[in-house]
Structure 1
Amino acid sequence: MNRSITILALMLLSLPVFAQTLTVQQSKELALKNSRGIKNSKLETEAAKEIKQEAYTKYFPNASASLMGMQAINPLLEMDMPAGNLPVYDGNLANIATATQFAYFPGVNIGLFNQMGLGSINVLQPVYAGNKIKTGNQLASLNVEVKQHQEKISENDVLMKTEQQYWQVVAIQEKQKTLQNYEKFLHALYKQVNDAYKAGFIIKNDLLKVQIAQSELKVNKNKLENGKKLALMQFSQTIGIDYTDEIVLQDDLQVESKPESYYIHGNDAVVNRSEYHLLEKSVEATELQYKMTKGDYLPQVGVGAAGYYLDQFVSGQKGNFNGMVYASVSIPITDWWGGKHKLKEQKLKTEIAENNRKENIELMNLQVEKGWTDLKEAYDKILLLQETLEQADENLRVNQNSYNNGLIQLSDLLEAQAIKVETEDKLTEAKSQYRTNLTNYLQVTGR
């Protein structure tokens, strides 16, 4: 049995480990699905919808009911009737004053409300409340729209963050490929130099130069690997998956379209953004707040009906029921003294919101322009570095031939290769920056 377990374990260890490949689109979908910030934004939207439903109930009558029971130490109302002789009534009222016959009344003490139960119900229908009910419902609907726009902004922020981190990892992967090619070059060069050294054509110093370059390469590879690990851990947390070093990001940094294919005019771009709509809603909210404040100083009119049932729990007696309908009118008078200042304050807040709206729209236009400028600069930098890389390739080819023919020193060849590696890294960074700038430009233009 032990032998079988050992064989099974070896078989499992020999199975290939499949890397988890992700495209940028898959990564964005995972981020939207798993982001706790987006989940909270959706919950806030649902909460705003509940507030809207609650505000709608204010249109309907307000009903309330109450029950009360009591037991007093002493009756709340006492009546004391003294004892005495009472005239006997013979059927003629005129004879009462001169009655000759009397009946003795022993006296009595009566206590009322010693114990009782009271139940009541009241229904009030607001007829006019200074437009506060209507305005309150408008504010609740506006709040839902605000939360929906904030939810969209939260999604955009997560997508932007996801793409930035995605292209950062892809750039590291591309740099690793560059180092792999550099490693192959140094390996072949070491063999060539070592053979020449053994044959006595060169001194050991040249061999040491190659070895030093190989040592520096190992340090850079280790540094890049550690950077990739940290970047992948951060990326995994953003898209909501468990980190593993087997994650491979599939998309490359190739630039498929020129910036002009994404261009949109600034004014057209701004109105597509959720931030623009939030600014519009902020002005609308202050206007509704003014109406709500004004409603506090307008008459309040309502009609209602009320009923009650009173029972003193006296044996042989039934409880009493009564009811009424009523109308109420409340008119604030002295409140207008301070209210006019409150209304003026609210008007000033509306002006402030309008000024903020205009200023932020101007800033968003500048943001769109800067996004376009950054995108163009990144693209121009790619074109320039591509030309530089072609020159570096040619320079390396010439130096390789010259070294093989004994026309230049080894250090010149190593320098030419280092220039190519540096140029390739710069080109990779430029492409990564272009991808990030493109995402930013699409975001600031509402796309």
Structure 2
Amino acid sequence: MRILQYILAFMGVFFLSFIEMRAQTVVTLEECHRDALAYNKSLDLSRMDLDYAETAIKAARTAFFPKVDGSASVMFLPDFEGVSFSGFTLPTTEEALAGNFAGTSGVDVPGFDLGMNDLKIYMGGITVEQPIYVGSRIRLAHQMAEIGADMAGEALNLTRAEVIHGTDRAFWSLMAVQEQVLVLENHVEALDSLEDQLKVQYELGIAPRSEMLKVSVMRNEAKLRLVEVTNLLDLTGMNLARLTGRPLDEPLRAAANTQENIEPRMQLTSTTDFSLRPELQILKHQQEISRLERLSVKGEYLPRIGVSFGYQYLHVPDLISGSWTMTLGAGVSIPLIHWRERKFRTDMARINEMKREINYDDTRNLIALEVQQNQMNLKSGVKRIELAQMNLEQAEETMSEVEISFRAGLNSVTDLLNARVAYQRAAASLIEAQANLEIITSAYLKSVGLL
């Protein structure tokens, strides 16, 4: 069993040496934010959605302008045999000037055949159409397109906040594990020094071998723990690398000092207005779109008025010479009987509008609960750091006194080891509390729409 512990300890030392030999990339939180925002694929899709929505506004705006269409066609009738006109007798009048027609003139007009084999007809034209009134549907469609662009912008903000918050979690998790590695390394180094001292005392016959073995066992356990935490360091570094678009095998090191960056955050809890949350803005826009959709349904059953203007060209060889004819037109379409379709569709639109109102209210309540929870977490996080700092100071003072007493022979090795373990745990708790506060702060800012 002891041989196995020595082998594992040697493997741990070798592994840590290998880790230290690898080149490490030092990154700051700002760099991680920048790289994550540039790399994240969800943000790319959100940007595309925003571009799509802005283009939809331009497409909806074109409905305000006249539509100009051109047409051209050629018709060929190879089996057309022509047109026959039958003869007839011209009428006469007794009082033609008075407009009274009677009798016949006795003058006959003979019939004739108009040969038109292989008839060809050429037609073309340009038409301009302008809607005058279509139940305000053009204006409503443009307004809905503008609201859709606003929704896409809010969705982009939401995705950006989620990316930043996810990066914060990964960065501060890496920082916490990184600091724990340093604490464990210092713990192992102190145990190595203590083991060397007891080894000398054992060789001089001052201390029993069991005291030295106690330290050896704890040192090996600490080294095994250090291997585990170092593996965790690699995993958290890979997670941060994944979010920032770096190679997964690139060792990352967080460049920040939690002791200097941790400050009381109680002043943040005074901010409770979460009206800027992108989720609420999106739901508000959905409510407005539902209202406009209801109005648009009503507009489909209102009269529609439009005008048109065009030039038409017609040419039939040997019959009609090519000529242009101007056309002017106006039209009115009035819906009459649709078997209460308007009422049913309007009711459907009104139900959708009510559903979105309920969804908005429910989401607002959930967000309010989330903000309150994050407020409490923030207060607890600050308090936890204060207690952890106090605990670390007491553990450090205890360890110092036990070390002095141990040298004076007043405390045993077990007392010294327990004091060192208590100090190591207190240091790890403080590091965890500091990183956790940063993550909670990020979550709170996201919950109030300020991230």
TM class by shorter chain equals 0.7 to 0.9
Match of 1:383 among 362, 382, 386: 386
How far the C-alpha of 1:241 sits from its partner, in A, is 2.8
Which consecutive residues of structure 2, in runs of 5 or more, have no partner in the other structure? 1-20, 88-104
Deviation larger for 337-346 or 51-60: 337-346
**Number of the residue aligned with 1:148:** 153
Query: Aligned residues: percent identity?
Result: 23
Match of 1:281 among 282, 285, 288: 285
* Contact map agreement 1:253 1:435 (CA 8 A) in 2: no
Match of 1:29 among 30, 34, 38: 34
Deviations 1:198-247 (A, max 9, x none): 11233332222222222222222221222111211111121223345453
Deviations 1:368-415 (A, max 9, x none): 111110011111111111121122122222322333233333222212
Deviating 4+ runs (over 4 angstroms): 16-19, 96-99, 105-109, 243-246
Deviation larger for 179-188 or 352-361: 352-361
How far the C-alpha of 1:421 sits from its partner, in A, is 0.9
Return the alpha-carbon distance in structure 2 between the equivalents of residues 385 and 106 of structure 1.
118
**Number of the residue aligned with 2:402:** 399
**Number of the residue aligned with 1:87:** none
**Number of the residue aligned with 2:298:** 294
**Number of the residue aligned with 2:269:** 263
- Normalised TM-score (structure 2): 0.85
3-state DSSP of counterpart to 2:371: helix
1:411 aligns with 2:414: yes
Distance of aligned partners of 1:82 and 1:54 in 2 relative to their CA distance in 1, 3 Å threshold: closer
Deviation larger for 198-207 or 419-428: 198-207
1:192-341 pair list within 5 angstroms? 192-243=197-248, 245-254=250-259, 256-266=262-272, 269-312=273-316, 314=317, 318-335=321-338, 337-341=340-344
Deviation larger for 33-42 or 201-210: 201-210
How far the C-alpha of 1:109 sits from its partner, in A, is 5.6
* Contact map agreement 1:23 1:250 (CA 8 A) in 2: yes
3-state DSSP of counterpart to 2:123: strand
1:364-375 pair list within 5 angstroms? 364-375=367-378
Aligned residues: 412
Return the alpha-carbon distance in structure 2 between the equivalents of residues 331 and 149 of structure 1.
40
How far the C-alpha of 1:148 sits from its partner, in A, is 0.7
**Number of the residue aligned with 2:6:** none
1:438 aligns with 2:438: no
Deviation larger for 361-370 or 163-172: 361-370
- Normalised TM-score (structure 1): 0.85
Deviations 1:157-212 (A, max 9, x none): 01101111000011111101101210111111011111111112333322222222
Which consecutive residues of structure 1, in runs of 5 or more, have no partner in the other structure? 1-15, 84-95, 100-104
* Contact map agreement 2:378 2:440 (CA 8 A) in 1: yes
Deviations 1:32-82 (A, max 9, x none): 22222212211211111110001000001112222222323411x732469
3-state DSSP of counterpart to 1:167: helix
**Number of the residue aligned with 2:91:** none
Quick one: which amino acid aligns to residue 335 of structure 1?
Answer: H
**Number of the residue aligned with 1:13:** none
* Contact map agreement 1:283 1:350 (CA 8 A) in 2: yes
1:165 aligns with 2:189: no
* Contact map agreement 2:85 2:111 (CA 8 A) in 1: no
